[in-house]
Amino acid sequence: MNKRIVIVGAGYSGILTAKKLEKKFRKNNDVTITIIDKNPFHTMLTELHEVAAGRVDEESIRISLKRVFAGRKVDVKHDNVNSIDFAKKLVVGNKESYGYDYLVLSAGSKPTFFGVEGAQEHAFKLWSYEDSIILKNQILDAFRKALVETNLDEKKRLLTFHIVGAGFTGAEMAGELAEFVPVLCDQFEMDRELVSITVIDILPRTVPSLPEKLSAKVERRLNRMGVRILLNTSVVRIGKDFIDSKLNDVLTRESSGTIIWAAGIEASEITGKAAQALKSGGRGRIVLDPYLRSLDNESVYVVGDSMLYTPEGEERPVPLVVENCELSAATAGHNIICDLTGEGEKEEYKPKFHGIMVSLGGRYGVAQVGTPKNMFSLASFFAMFVKHFINIIYYIQVLGWNKVFSYLKHEFFTIRHRRSFVGGHLSNRTPSFLTVPLRIFLGAVWLFEGVMKIVEGWFNTPKLTGFFSGASEWYNSILNGAGGATDGTSAATAEGGVEAVKAAGTTIMNFDFLGLFRLIFVSGKDLANSTISDYAFKIDIPLMNSFLDKFILPNNTMQMIMQIFIVLAEILIGLALIGGLFTTPASAVSLILQVMFVTTTGLYLGTFWMIFAGVAVLVGAGRTFGLDYYVMPLLKSNWKKVKFARKWYLYND
């Protein structure tokens, strides 16, 4: 009998639950999996502030559900769920209704306004993809209007920002905005003193989930960034251009151009409706048993922000953080599999959380990470490193290589105004057309070398014995002090490979690392008379030497195979680089050949430029005045249609 699993909500927990179930039932045609969301994409909610404050583009936080589930047996439905009939086991949407045997409620959450007058009507929210774009446009419009405003008081009001809430969202939005303001002031020729940013919260400290010392660090950092923090202060009213707050029963009204609400969340609308039929608790969340099922309905599982569950031995419900989404999805998925297969035992939800982190702009953050019994605090560079590492893990689980590459691109390779914890050092600034002469010249050298080897008879007779042994004898003559420097120099290929023995010179380095490899750096002459072409470097690896001595050099057939491979590789690399066709694989093979030469014959420093040139043209060099400009988009569009590539995300955008 066919079993239907319906997942309402394609947030992090919904996606991971669907992927876990699909992996188990991929070959079982009796089980169908449907995931429904009001958007055709997943939003990385933890990065909304980055879009709102202009650090990254909006597409960086949007992940297509079709791409997430491409090649998988998951039916993705773009629909808005209006209600759930638990008696009939029916999910009712705008477009159609969906019957189920098991329901996973993962509809997330929405902002809650705690009854503050005017908050919902006049404050800007930050809890969805749309919210981040609207807020970004509002911030830019505030500066555009202030630019042409002649009244100083009105100009200041337009540039006054209030953020209600000093928790994760409020603190991160304040830090991001404070980092964005100098950029906007420069762009719109505005004095920084005209801009005001204030964070207001009734709590006694910022981000109370953090230890007090880290909360203090957050406050000090925000203060240094020009953010005013009002704690123990309640917001009582919000208007179109003002905000009323109360401290110690003293009511204060301040003018404001932009008010951002980040003061708390409650269950989403559909979860709130479900809470009327199922046992629920604070802010509309569903109360669960240890297996993450509703107490009233064992066919309904709840994960992520929609759940209200206190693990055995704990005093408080599980926190609504990303890691809870991941862990609850794994438990719910496992238990549904047990229900459907009748195999194994259900697991109780016993989450172990590994920390929390807060970023204050792109350059600074704080974190508490570790194991539940052994947490430690991080700040600045290390905290931001952990944040990006966790985000990459997030993306690997959702969209694999495709999104990881996109994330690195948005966060590091195209970042502007140095808004990264490594500054702007990784951001591309050099126009790619400047690499064209280098690419063509590197290709010409490789082509010349391949042709010259054909002329020298590499296709006709074995050459490698003299090629390798001659180089080894030359190095040994210098390392063993066999004579002083002479006018003779050893011959070398253009790749720098040493071929013949003529002289002993000067040993500069001879470092043996535990017998695993030896670093050799010598000159064919005395140092006073040496030029860059006299210096040679080699990484001597005994394992490599043994392989050559036992399997390659004693066998003329193997020598010829290797020689032909080297010649053809050099010619193909040369042609590819000159034409700008398949530049990335050609550059990669170029580097591999250089590594082969370094570990066998060694390289003269005069040809080390080829290594650095190979690195310089490794990514995208053929897209400028090269055939890759035409070929790669065509190949990419067709490759993305391959089922295997879509399923494992083996492509990038």
Residue 88 CA: distances (Å) to CA of 81, 92, 103, 474: 16, 11, 12, 86
Residues counted in the chain: 653
Torsion over CA: 172, 178, 179, 180 (sign): positive
Long-range Cβ contacts of 289-297 (<8 Å, 24+ apart): 290/348, 290/349, 291/331, 291/335, 291/346, 291/347, 291/348, 291/349, 292/328, 292/331, 292/332, 292/335, 292/349, 293/335, 296/86, 297/86
Report the SS3 class of residue 373: coil
Angle (CA) 316-318-322 rounded to 5° is 150
Report the SS3 class of residue 352: coil
Please give the structure tokens belonging to residue 157.
Answer: 């009001």
Q: How many CB atoms lie within 10 A of CB 542?
A: 11
Phi-psi category of 199—alpha, beta or left, where left has phi over 0 and alpha has psi -120 to 50?
beta
Please give the structure tokens belonging to residue 121.
Answer: 């009507």
Phi and psi at residue 189, to the nearest 5°: 55, 55
Q: How far is CA 455 from the centre of its chain?
A: 49
Q: Where are the alpha helices (DSSP H) in 128-167?
A: 129-148, 152-158
The single-letter DSSP state of residue 163 is E
- Fold adopted by 3-110+266-348: FAD/NAD(P)-binding domain (3.50.50)
Please give the structure tokens belonging to residue 200.
Answer: 């207001």
The dihedral formed by the CA atoms of 311, 317, 322 and 324, expressed in degrees to the nearest 10 = 10
Beta bridge partners of 286: 280, 307
What was the pLDDT predicted at 502?
A: 47
Report the SS3 class of residue 380: coil
Instruction: Evaluate whether 242 touches 197 at the Cβ level (below 8 Å).
Output: no
| Helix 556-579 vs helix 583-598: crossing angle, to nearest 10 | 140
Q: Does domain 119-263 have CATH number 3.40.140.10?
A: no
What was the pLDDT predicted at 283?
A: 86
Please give the structure tokens belonging to residue 112.
Answer: 């809650």
Q: How many CB atoms lie within 10 A of CB 429?
A: 7
| Helix 464-479 vs helix 556-579: crossing angle, to nearest 10 | 90
d(CA 538, CA 541): 9
Instruction: Evaluate whether 409 touches 530 at the Cβ level (below 8 Å).
Output: no
Instruction: Evaluate whether 581 touches 628 at the Cβ level (below 8 Å).
Output: yes
Locate the domains of the chain by residue range. 3-110+266-348, 119-263, 434-638
Instruction: Evaluate whether 349 touches 292 at the Cβ level (below 8 Å).
Output: yes
Instruction: Evaluate whether 256 touches 241 at the Cβ level (below 8 Å).
Output: yes
Exposed / middle / buried, residue 448 (Cβ in 10 Å: 0-12, 13-18, 19+) = middle
What was the pLDDT predicted at 485?
A: 37
Low-confidence ranges of the chain (pLDDT < 50): 483-496, 499-503
Instruction: Evaluate whether 371 touches 352 at the Cβ level (below 8 Å).
Output: yes
What was the pLDDT predicted at 401?
A: 87
Q: How many CB atoms lie within 10 A of CB 224?
A: 11
Instruction: Evaluate whether 218 touches 358 at the Cβ level (below 8 Å).
Output: yes
What was the pLDDT predicted at 1?
A: 63
Q: Do strands 535-540 and 300-302 pair parallel, antiparallel, or not at all (unpaired)?
A: unpaired
Beta bridge partners of 317: none
Q: 176: closest CA among 111, 245, 260, 119?
A: 260
SS (H, E, C) 255-302: ECCEEEECCCEEECHHHHHHCCCCCECHHHCEEECCCCEECCCCCEEE
Report the SS3 class of residue 240: coil
